[in-house]
Amino acid sequence: MTTTDFLIIGAGIAGVSAAAELSHLGSCRLIEAEAHAAYHASGRSAALYEPFYGPPPMVEFSLASGEGLAAAGVLSPRGVMLVAGHDERDHFDHEAELMRMEEIAPDAAVAAFPALDPAKVARAAMGARAQDIDTDLLIQSYQRDARSRGAEILFSAPATAIARQDGQWVVTTPKGVFSAKVLINAAGAWADPVAQMAGIAPKGIVPHRRSMARIPAPAGLDVASWPMLLGVNESFYAKPDAGALIVSPADAEPTTAHDAWADDMVLAEGLARYEALMLYPVDRLIANWAGLRSFAPDGAPVYGRDPDQPDFIWFAGQGGYGFQSSVAAARFIADIAAGRPTDAQLRRAIDPARFG
């Protein structure tokens, strides 16, 4: 049995970013059940940096992450646009204000996203600061940083048992038995099951399925410079990707932790909502898939020491905002682990102790 200061479970964006930061503080090991990093939610992300998208704590983390993401070279211009049809005006003002968007004329919206039908667009707003995130490059960068400071990353190593022995966590995996003083739960959709395996009370973190489809570029148009498009009330989103469009019904169906797949009916309904504002029908799919976005009951993340076992640190419930908030969120986890001061109001909002 080998021992480290920190043992992290889960190699999605939470786990790899935590490894990069915690490796500054001491010896670190990261274990992942799958054969590579970012297999589940992180590998199926829409990959957008829009700092005003998400609950208030995530907005704070995302705003604080922008400079670091830019320095890592993972951001590129995209922009995001909110559109409403003639029967969808009610929620438009609130959503545009929430995301700090500037209203634009419908004809300007059509110029920016030429697949839109001018007769169907009633109102539109643009957020110019949104940027694409090269998620693969960011995941690789965090892993490289962690390894450069001696961190070990093991794949195909699911935790099969977790016990507390002599002031240490002891975790059994197919790759060996490992111990550590501090255990970091970065297991995403599996965060509550991992906690229960460790004898820690779950926090009500529930995975939610999000379905996606890749469709050909409408009418063969060049979509490279188009913004990401959001339907009012999260009725759908569409985002350019490698010469095609990714379209999602923006579903959030509570489910269990598993290797998710798209729900055909939900996908069809979302594509119909997208088509309702477009000039061109969707006549075929290139591919479809689904990911799991995990939420605590109040929608805010669960970051910090467990109230009953301080050497168990939660880094979970990111709700799909993990990439855009990763720089600041991982630093927060390192601050907690090191006993450094953090913003008291933010810490209370995301403290695992808020669930009793």
Q: CA 215 to CA 288: how far, in whole Å?
A: 9
For residue 272, give the amino acid letter. A
Q: CA 240 to CA 242: how far, in whole Å?
A: 7
pLDDT at 41: 76
Q: pLDDT by residue (tens digit) across 228-247?
A: 999 999 999 999 999 999 99
How many residues appear in the chain? 356
Q: What phi and psi, each to the nearest 5 degrees, are found at residue 181? A: -70, -40
Q: Which residues of the chain have pLDDT under 70?
A: 43
Q: CA 101 to CA 250: how far, in whole Å?
A: 20
pLDDT at 225: 97
pLDDT at 89: 80
Q: Residue 177 is encoded by which pair of tokens?
A: 């038995």
pLDDT at 60: 98
Q: pLDDT by residue (tens digit) across 106-148?
A: 999 999 999 999 999 999 999 988 999 999 999 999 999 999 9
Q: What is the separation, in whole angstroms, between the first and last Cα of the chain?
A: 34
Percent of the chain predicted with pLDDT > 70 = 99
Please tell me whether the overall predicted TM-score, pTM, comes out greater than 0.85 for this model: yes
* Domains parsed from the chain with CATH numbers: 2-46+135-203+298-355 (3.50.50.60), 80-128+206-295 (3.30.9.10)
